[in-house]
Structure 1
Amino acid sequence: MNPHERIERHFSAHIEAAQEALTMLGDSIEIAAAKLAHCLLSDGKILCCGNGGSAAQAQHFSSEMLNRFERERPGLPAVALTTDTSTLTSIANDYHFDEVFAKQVRALGHAGDILVIYSTSGISPSVLSAAVAAQDRDMSIIALNGRDGGTLAPLLRDTDVEIRVTAPSTARIQEIHLLITHCLCDLVDHQLFGE
């Protein structure tokens, strides 16, 4: 297969994954956006986490909330739990890497806040621990998950929202998570600030 054919294959797989996500996940995305807007209108905040590429997704989402998405508006309270290397490394060193997000959730999260989890597999111990910590703090969870949902899916409560991209490729899951992130940003802005 030549380079151009490989490029075409990636684009085709992306389009197929995006179309499937639109068909399967539109309602969940709408519900998640409404929960985020309600949280923010109630003076809550959004905490975000994930590992590797999912950490980048969490940071992307929090920056779109805190700064701006596509319009001028006041900043919205969102914190990526993936960015403070001193905190991350001290927790990993003194306790265990599984606790790097959970300890932050327990310290920063309050009832009514939302934890947004990004995971392509739903099996990372650090995000599973974060989910349990959020539940202990009476926070809601919005999980942008992947594949079969892993161990994360059954941890979620009826009041949480799972947005699961079932594509087999990590790259496709991350691409669709980014599209979903932009949908959430747009819907939150629309609900809070109108047209």
Structure 2
Amino acid sequence: MNNQIKSLVQASIDVKQQVLENAALLQTVEQVIALIVTAFRNGNSVYFCGNGGSAADAQHLAAEFSGRFYKDRKALPAEALHCNTSYLTAVANDYSFDLIYSRIIDGIGKKGDVLIGLSTSGNSRNIVRAFEHAKAKGLITVGFTGATGGLLKTASDHLINIPSSDTPRIQECHMLLGHTICQLVEAQYFEEEA
């Protein structure tokens, strides 16, 4: 069992090492940090969406902005779109689960907002649909996916595709880069504001 544990930890390290050595991916992360800072400075919001574990990660990252990360500071306008269970179950029941995110983007999304979708496969239909609606409304879309990017590869304005096809390793890197984005957005936004 000890060797299995070590093997899993090493697999996580290996994917993170690939991320660390991927200049294009790191450049995309830097661009996403800048666009989120700009969105917040312009009075826009950042929305997150995902399914299953990715929904939990989306909620976690939204809370880092709307709550706090390192600094005791004002809340930033960020929300995970699946947190209203009455809305979620009504739309899934009355329309389709594929429309849960696109419908709320129709209702609350505005030009200049940022929509971040987490999908390890990149093929989650509800996220792809949300990105299509978001682009039509002038939102900026950021996809967090696995290696291929799936359908989100072409649907995203910015793609953070982790170089792996192993769901747990992808999600671990989504949180690593998500936390990196939250930390650096917070530092830049509040430093520049001061």
The question of a shared fold, defined as TM-score above 0.5 by the shorter chain, is answered with yes
Q: Which residue of 1 aligns with 2:152?
A: 152
Give the alignment's Cα RMSD to 1 decimal: 1.1
Number of aligned residues: 190
Equivalent position to 2:18, from 20, 23, 34 = 20
Q: Which residue of 2 aligns with 1:192?
A: 189
State the alpha-carbon separation in 2 of the partners of residues 101 and 136 from structure 1: 14
> What does the per-residue CA deviation read over 1:68-92, in whole Å, with 9 as the maximum and x for residues that have no partner?
0112111100010011111111000
State the alpha-carbon separation in 2 of the partners of residues 102 and 86 from structure 1: 16
State TM-score, norm by structure 2. Answer: 0.95
1:8-157, aligned counterparts within 5 Å? 8-24=6-22, 25-156=25-156
> What does the per-residue CA deviation read over 1:80-133, in whole Å, with 9 as the maximum and x for residues that have no partner?
001111111100000000000100111010001000111101111100111011
> What does the per-residue CA deviation read over 1:129-183, in whole Å, with 9 as the maximum and x for residues that have no partner?
1101101111001111113111111123xxx211100212100000000000110
State TM-score, norm by structure 1. Answer: 0.95
State the alpha-carbon separation in 1 of the partners of residues 58 and 158 from structure 2: 16
Structure 1 residue ranges, 4+ long, deviating more than 2 angstroms after superposition: none
Amino acid at match of 1:103: R
State the alpha-carbon separation in 1 of the partners of residues 21 and 160 from structure 2: 12
In structure 2, the gaps of 5 or more residues are none
